Chain A
Amino acid sequence: MSIISARSNRILLLYYIVIVFFLFSPILMGFYFSFGEQRFPSFPIDKFSLDWYADAWADSKLLDALQRSALVAALVAPTATILGGLGAYADYRYRYPGRRFALALGLMPPTIPVLILALAFLAYLSELHLTASLYGVFIAHTVICLPFAMALIRLRLSQLDPELESAAWNLGAGEWRAFLHIVLVFCRPMIFVSLMITFIISFDEFTIAWFVSGTEQTLPVKVLNMVERQSSPVINAIGSITSLFTLAAILIALLVIKRLDRTKWHD
């Protein structure tokens, strides 16, 4: 047993549960009320129904927005993972002038306030005539997702003994084949995690999409649109589904990362 007594462990756990509940209660409430029949729900719910889910499914504009979000995310995930992953590999393997600068640049986007980023993208993409299009959203999302991919793969590479690549060369594998059979295989679980995380980030991203997407609204933008115009529990239904989806993806990602410790090799 650790130095902390069993009793203070319990208090700590209770405190932790309370905080988590507090943070998640809006989502939990939304989830709860999405099953209520009434338009302006009261607590507790009298009649349960799945009408709002049906309404969401019937709204074609909503489905279009969902499709756009999914499409962009599906393209952003592999792009950000490949670019970020290769950036991480370059940093892992080589020493070159500007290496630190390149690393800082690659990891920088999350440090910039998102509103400023969004305005910057709006200005830049409008020069390229890519605003009010999904291309613009794709580019912007790739930029903000890339640091996550880079950080995740960089983490995994730090667990890879550099001698393993040299050993592969020594055994007859050329640089490309060694990369394929050793580095990529070793990083595979983390590549999967990166794809999931970048997908989620892009899918849920609101601010930049709101500025850049124009009439080609992504799902979060459409939802804000709906909230502004009407206050319908359909929003609860949408929120519940996307929350579950996001939560599931993150949980899977975390489980994979935890399992990775078993294939770590250090000297």
Chain B
Amino acid sequence: MTDTLLELSRIRKEYGQTVAVDDLSITVSEGEFLAIMGPSGCGKSTTLKMLAGLEAPDAGEVRYCGQRVNELSAWQREIPLVWQNLALFPFLSVRKNVEFGLKMRGVDSQTRSEKAAFWLRRLGIEECAERNIKTLSGGQRQRVALARCLVLNPKILLLDEPLSALDPKLRISMQALLTGLQRELGITFIYVTHSQDEAFAMADRIIIMKDGAVQQNASPQRIFNNPANAFVAEFTGAFNLIEGCIKSSTDENVIASTSVGDLCIASNALDRPQAGTQVLAAIKVHGCQIGTKSKGMKENNQVRGVIVGEEFVGSRSILHVSLTQSNTFKVEYTLGNEKTTRVRVGDEVDVFWASKDAQLISLGNEVMETSHE
């Protein structure tokens, strides 16, 4: 069990009338890669700034190793931040940028130079050392920003959407670099992003935020398998959602009547919802298939719809199948798959899935689970 390194306790932050963060409590353990994810304006950058001491919370405590640090100013905190816009000093060379934090700590020139050289080499940019940062590519600048922080040997590193400005290929390689570094150095990374792919690819644990409140705080796997509420389910993009009303339930399954017919949904372990309850069914996109139902198939849900769109994602595509006027399901479709015949936009198809790939979510946005593992 690793120690709690950093803790936000009941933090509230307002900007005039707007509440940016509301009653937020987060714990961060040593050595973990934590991602804070959410749509624009959800309060994730504000949270990061409060951790760094660049913003002060209106209520609540920030604790570092158990000690309250609200009153510590930004320059006393030793929690460096990799900025979204990098914030490199344009009038300093690469090397002097990297050395800046050390210089502020009073480290002598020789040691500074050695440490900077080490990190520049480690990140593969040592030949840029004396260059002006304007002459560097986006990826190189990213690394300078990283080196500038890592040279300070921090326990915690904050990253504010650092990869958002990079092209996809570079983003993937930077992601690999970051995860590799984090594992090797054992530094706690707190990584803010609005990209679900990045968070799922890199983090040990993800906190999803909306309107200043935590929606779910769990590992990527758990979020993917058991979204806490409708917002999370929708945000991951991995679920098809449809409203329904409970008809009956057994130990294994629940039957809900929806606008596309009666659906069979796997029961959540403890809850046995009453008949008549309004619910939301979340069906994994991954579990949906199109084609014709054959005998002996495990899938026991089937609806008919029309293909209205197709998204290419390499060797597979995502089909958008319109079931009713207001319900469109996403279905994964792999080209070259023997089971499925070639389909096109405009075709009428059957979509089917097994009840185990569907689950119930409460209709409201309240969080059903906040535990994390």
Contacts and interface: CB of A to CB of B under 8 A. Distances in A.
A186 B91 contact: yes
A256 to B, nearest CB: 14
A40 interface: no
A172 B91 contact: no
A250 interface: no
B52 interface: yes
B186 to A, nearest CB: 21
Interface stretch (B99-107, B227-235, B361-369): B99-107
B80 interface: yes
Contacts of A168: 89, 100, 104
A170 B54 CA distance: 8
B90 A170 contact: no
Contacts of B90: 186, 263-265
A167 B152 contact: no
Given A263-B91, A265-B90, A267-B85, A170 B100 contact: no
Given A185-B91, A186-B91, A170 B74 contact: yes
B104 A177 contact: yes
B54 A171 contact: no
A100 to B, nearest CB: 19
Contact of B152 (A161, A166, A171, A174): A171
Given A170-B54, A171-B100, A171-B104, A164 B75 contact: no
SS of B interface (majority): loop
Contacts of A83: none
Classify chain A's interface size: 20 to 34
A171 B83 contact: no
A178 B90 CA distance: 14
B101 A161 contact: no
B87 A172 contact: no
A135 interface: no
A163 B85 contact: yes
Contact of B80 (A164, A171, A177, A185): A171
A56 interface: no
B78 interface: yes
Interface string B118-141: 000000000000000000000000
Contacts of A166: 54, 74, 87
Contact of B75 (A161, A169, A186, A264): A169
Interface in B40-90: 52-54, 73-75, 78-81, 83, 85, 87, 89-90
B97 to A, nearest CB: 10
A108 B353 CA distance: 74
Contacts of A182: 89
A173 interface: yes
Contacts of A175: 75
Contact of A161 (B79, B85, B100, B149): B85
B148 interface: yes
A173 B83 contact: no
A178 B103 CA distance: 12
15 contacts: A161-B85, A163-B85, A164-B89, A166-B54, A168-B104, A170-B54, A170-B75, A171-B75, A171-B100, A171-B149, A172-B75, A174-B73, A182-B89, A186-B91, A267-B85
Interface of B: 52-54, 73-75, 78-81, 83, 85, 87, 89-91, 100-101, 104-105, 148-149, 152
Give the 7 A-B residue pairs with the shortest CB-CB distance, closest first. Answer: A167-B87, A171-B101, A172-B104, A265-B90, A169-B74, A163-B87, A173-B104
Interface of A: 161, 163-164, 166-175, 177-178, 181-182, 185-186, 263-265, 267
